[in-house]
Amino acid sequence: MSRVLKLAVAGLSGRMGQEVQRVAKQHACVVVGGLSRTQSSLAAMSERPDVVIDFSLPEFTAQVVRECLTHKTPLVSGVTGYAATELQALQDAGKQIPVVWSANMSVGVQILLRALESLRGAEGFDLVMEEIHHAQKRDAPSGTAKLIRDETEKRSGRRIEQIHSLRGGGVVGVHRVLALGPNESLSFEHAAQDRGVFASGACRAAQWLVKQGPGFYSLGDVLNG
């Protein structure tokens, strides 16, 4: 049984921060504090966290990374919509502390990526993607859509040419890849019904990360390790 991990959560008041708070106990974790615009220092917390989980927004990343480097605290980031320089800052932090970043923390999307490897050799099929999210989602296409596109290209050599983003209601997240041939078609879909799947993935990553040395890791590394 894993020991109880102490977590600090950046974005604690947000949708994902609240989910981490809700599922932490199921993963032998406890949330001991939050990092926010008004409280951005790990040193000010009464209990020192073992891991920081970041589900805030890209503009807060530099502050979160700085705190983690200062206190040598491992970082799990699920933030999406990063500019290249912001993502580079996370990758650089991995040279000094253990860092996991994934645009999608669910086990199901990792399985979807494996299924999409089967498109290798699917000549004559056009690949397109549709992603649907709640009306408040800021970035489009979603970080998961970009992850699926990039991994599909890497693993199958096939490129997803178009991504269609739909926004509305309270949809947690749907990603559908269509392989459209002249006389037949295939559909690969992942649908998240509850944000708890992402929060659980982040807690699982935190438990794994405290046993690793410095590095920049993916959720695939966590699940394979």
Q: Which sequence positions are flagged as catalytic?
A: 133, 137
Kindly tell me which residue out of 7, 8, 16, 90 binds ligand NAP, with binding defined by CB under 6 A. Answer: 16
Task: Determine, following the binding rule CB under 6 A, whether residue 14 of this chain makes contact with ligand NAP.
Answer: yes
Residue with Cβ nearer ligand NAP (116 or 219):
219
Query: Strands, DSSP E only, in the chain?
Result: 5-10, 29-35, 51-54, 75-77, 98-101, 126-133, 162-167, 173-180, 185-192, 215-217
Site string for ligand NAP, 125-144 (x = CB under 6 A): ------------------x-
In the complex, the smallest distance separating the C-beta of residue 81 from ligand NAP, rounded to whole angstroms, is 6
The secondary element (H helix, E strand) that includes residue 115 is: helix 107-116
Task: Determine, following the binding rule CB under 6 A, whether residue 196 of this chain makes contact with ligand NAP.
Answer: no
Task: Determine, following the binding rule CB under 6 A, whether residue 203 of this chain makes contact with ligand NAP.
Answer: no
User: Interhelix angle for 196-209 vs 107-116, to 10°?
Assistant: 90
Cα 146 to the center of its chain, rounded Å: 12
List, in sequence order, every residue forming a beta bridge with 192; answer none if it has no partner: 173
Q: For ligand NAP, which residue has the nearest CB? A: 14
Give the binding-site size for ligand NAP (rule: CB under 6 A).
Answer: 24
- Asked if residue 75 lies in contact with residue 197, where contact means CB atoms within 8 angstroms, the answer is no
Task: Determine, following the binding rule CB under 6 A, whether residue 11 of this chain makes contact with ligand NAP.
Answer: yes
Distance CA 175, CA 147 (A): 11
In the complex, the smallest distance separating the C-beta of residue 196 from ligand NAP, rounded to whole angstroms, is 11
Residue with Cβ nearer ligand NAP (173 or 179):
173
In the complex, the smallest distance separating the C-beta of residue 62 from ligand NAP, rounded to whole angstroms, is 10
Kindly tell me which residue out of 21, 61, 73, 80 binds ligand NAP, with binding defined by CB under 6 A. Answer: 80
The secondary element (H helix, E strand) that includes residue 116 is: helix 107-116
Q: By CB under 6 A, which span of 9-17, 68-76, 90-98, 181-189 interacts with ligand NAP?
A: 9-17
Distance CA 78, CA 213 (A): 20
List, in sequence order, every residue forming a beta bridge with 165; answer none if it has no partner: 131
Copy the structure tokens of residue 57.
């927004």
In the complex, the smallest distance separating the C-beta of residue 77 from ligand NAP, rounded to whole angstroms, is 8
The secondary element (H helix, E strand) that includes residue 219 is: helix 219-224
Question: Per CB under 6 A, which of residues 47..76 are in contact with ligand NAP?
Answer: 55-57, 59-60
Cα 43 to the center of its chain, rounded Å: 26
> Can you give the binding site for ligand NAP, defined by CB under 6 A?
11-17, 36-37, 55-57, 59-60, 78-81, 102-105, 143, 198
